[in-house]
Chains A and B, each alone.
Chain A
Amino acid sequence: MVEKENKVYSRPAIGTSLLAFGFILLIGSIVLGISVGAAHIDFQTVWRSIFHYDSTREADQIIVGIRLPRELGAAIVGAAFAVSGAIMQGMTRNPLADPGLLGLNAGASLALACVFAFHPSATYLSVMFVSFIGAGIGAGLVFGLGSLRPGGMSPVRITLAGAAVSALLSALGEGMALYYKLSQDLAFWTAGGVSGTNWLQLKLIFPVVVVGMMMAIVLSKHLTILSFGEEMAKGLGQRTLLTKAVLMTVVLILAGAAVSLVGPVAFVGLMVPNIVRYLVGTDYRWIIPCSAVFGGILMVLADTAARMVNAPYETPIGAIVSIAGVPFFLYLARKGGRK
Chain B
Amino acid sequence: MINSDRLKRVRFTMISALFLLLALFVISVATGYISLSPAQLARTILGQGTSKENLILFDFRLPRIIITILAGMGLAVSGSILQSITRNPLSDPGVLGIHAGAGLMVVFYVMFFTAESTNFLYVLPLFALLGGIFAAAIIYILSYLKGEGVDPNRLVLIGVGIAAAMNGAILTLSTRLEREEYDFFANWMAGRIWGDDWTFVLALLPWILLLLPVVLAKSNVLNILNLHEHVSVGLGVHVERERLILIFIAVALSSASVSVSGSIPFIGLMAPHIARALVGPRHQWFLPIAAVLGAILLLAADTIGRVILDPSGIPAGIVVSIIGAPYFMYLMAKK
Complex CA–CA separation, A138 to B153 (angstroms): 24
**A residues contacting the other copy or chain, number (CB 8 A):** 46
Q: Is the interface of B mostly helix, strand, loop or mixed?
A: helix
Q: Is the CB of B321 within 8 A of A168?
A: yes
Complex CA–CA separation, A252 to B177 (angstroms): 35
B181 is an interface residue with CB less than 8 A from chain A: no
A319 touches which of B145, B171, B312 (Cβ 8 Å): B171
B296 is an interface residue with CB less than 8 A from chain A: no
Q: Is the CB of A330 within 8 A of B158?
A: yes
A164 touches which of B309, B314, B329 (Cβ 8 Å): B329
Query: Which of A79-87, A195-203, A254-262, A309-317 contacts the other chain?
Result: A309-317
B175 touches which of A164, A168, A191 (Cβ 8 Å): A191
Complex CA–CA separation, A330 to B139 (angstroms): 10
Residues of B within 8 A of A157 (CB): 332
Complex CA–CA separation, A18 to B171 (angstroms): 34
B236 is an interface residue with CB less than 8 A from chain A: no
Residues of B within 8 A of A114 (CB): none
Q: Contact string, A211-252, partner B, CB cutoff 8 A, digits 1/0?
A: 000000000000000000000000000000000000000000
Residues of B within 8 A of A316 (CB): 171-172, 175
Q: Is the CB of A337 within 8 A of B164?
A: no
A159 is an interface residue with CB less than 8 A from chain B: yes
Residues of B within 8 A of A321 (CB): 168
Q: Is the CB of B309 within 8 A of A179?
A: yes
Kindly name the residue among A163, A168, A310, A319 whose own CB sees the greatest number of chain B CB atoms within 10 A.
A163
B25 is an interface residue with CB less than 8 A from chain A: no
B151 is an interface residue with CB less than 8 A from chain A: yes
Please report which residues of chain B, range 255-310, place their CB below 8 angstroms from some CB of chain A when the two chains form the complex.
265-266, 309
Q: Is the CB of B175 within 8 A of A171?
A: no
A112 is an interface residue with CB less than 8 A from chain B: no
Chain A nearest Cβ from B305, distance in angstroms: 9
Residues of B within 8 A of A159 (CB): 156-157, 160
Residue of A nearest to B96 (CB): A163
Complex CA–CA separation, A313 to B172 (angstroms): 11
Q: Is the CB of A313 within 8 A of B164?
A: no
Q: Is the CB of B325 within 8 A of A165?
A: yes
Q: Is the CB of A167 within 8 A of B172?
A: no
Q: Is the CB of A337 within 8 A of B333?
A: no
B318 is an interface residue with CB less than 8 A from chain A: yes
B142 is an interface residue with CB less than 8 A from chain A: yes
Q: Given A160-B156, A319-B171, A330-B161, answer yes or no on A178-B90 (Cβ-Cβ < 8 Å).
A: no
Q: Is the CB of B325 within 8 A of A160?
A: no
Q: Is the CB of B156 within 8 A of A167?
A: no
Residues of B within 8 A of A333 (CB): 154, 157-158, 161
Q: Is the CB of B154 within 8 A of A334?
A: yes
Residue of A nearest to B326 (CB): A168
Residue of B nearest to A267 (CB): B164
Q: Is the CB of B158 within 8 A of A161?
A: no
Chain B nearest Cβ from A304, distance in angstroms: 16
Chain A nearest Cβ from B268, distance in angstroms: 13
Residue of B nearest to A323 (CB): B168
Complex CA–CA separation, A209 to B257 (angstroms): 46
B161 touches which of A145, A168, A326 (Cβ 8 Å): A326
B228 is an interface residue with CB less than 8 A from chain A: no
B231 is an interface residue with CB less than 8 A from chain A: no
Chain A nearest Cβ from B332, distance in angstroms: 5
B169 is an interface residue with CB less than 8 A from chain A: yes
Chain A nearest Cβ from B306, distance in angstroms: 13
A171 touches which of B171, B309, B318 (Cβ 8 Å): B318
Complex CA–CA separation, A267 to B168 (angstroms): 11
Q: Is the CB of A145 within 8 A of B333?
A: yes
Q: Is the CB of B175 within 8 A of A156?
A: no
Q: Contact string, B128-159, partner A, CB cutoff 8 A, digits 1/0?
A: 00000000000000110100100101101110
Residue of B nearest to A315 (CB): B172
Q: Is the CB of B329 within 8 A of A165?
A: yes
Q: Is the CB of A183 within 8 A of B186?
A: yes
Complex CA–CA separation, A267 to B158 (angstroms): 14
A329 is an interface residue with CB less than 8 A from chain B: yes
Q: Is the CB of B266 within 8 A of A329?
A: no
Q: Is the CB of B157 within 8 A of A337?
A: yes
Please report which residues of chain A, range 172-200, place their CB below 8 angstroms from some CB of chain B when the two chains form the complex.
172, 174-175, 178-179, 183, 191
Complex CA–CA separation, A149 to B186 (angstroms): 37
Q: Is the CB of B157 within 8 A of A156?
A: yes
A57 is an interface residue with CB less than 8 A from chain B: no
Kindly name the residue among A145, A148, A171, A329 whose own CB sees the greatest number of chain B CB atoms within 10 A.
A171
Complex CA–CA separation, A111 to B325 (angstroms): 18
Chain B nearest Cβ from A255, distance in angstroms: 17
Q: Is the CB of B332 within 8 A of A160?
A: yes
A266 is an interface residue with CB less than 8 A from chain B: yes
Residues of B within 8 A of A175 (CB): 314, 318, 322
- In the complex, 21 of the A-B residue pairs with CB atoms within 8 angstroms, ordered by the A residue number, are A101-B160, A145-B329, A155-B157, A156-B153, A160-B156, A164-B328, A168-B325, A170-B321, A175-B314, A178-B190, A183-B186, A315-B175, A316-B172, A319-B169, A321-B168, A322-B168, A326-B164, A330-B158, A333-B161, A336-B157, A337-B151
The residues of B with any CB-CB pair to A shorter than 8 Å are 90, 94-95, 142-143, 145, 148, 151, 153-154, 156-158, 160-165, 167-169, 171-172, 175-176, 186, 190, 265-266, 309, 312, 314-315, 317-318, 321-322, 324-326, 328-329, 332-333
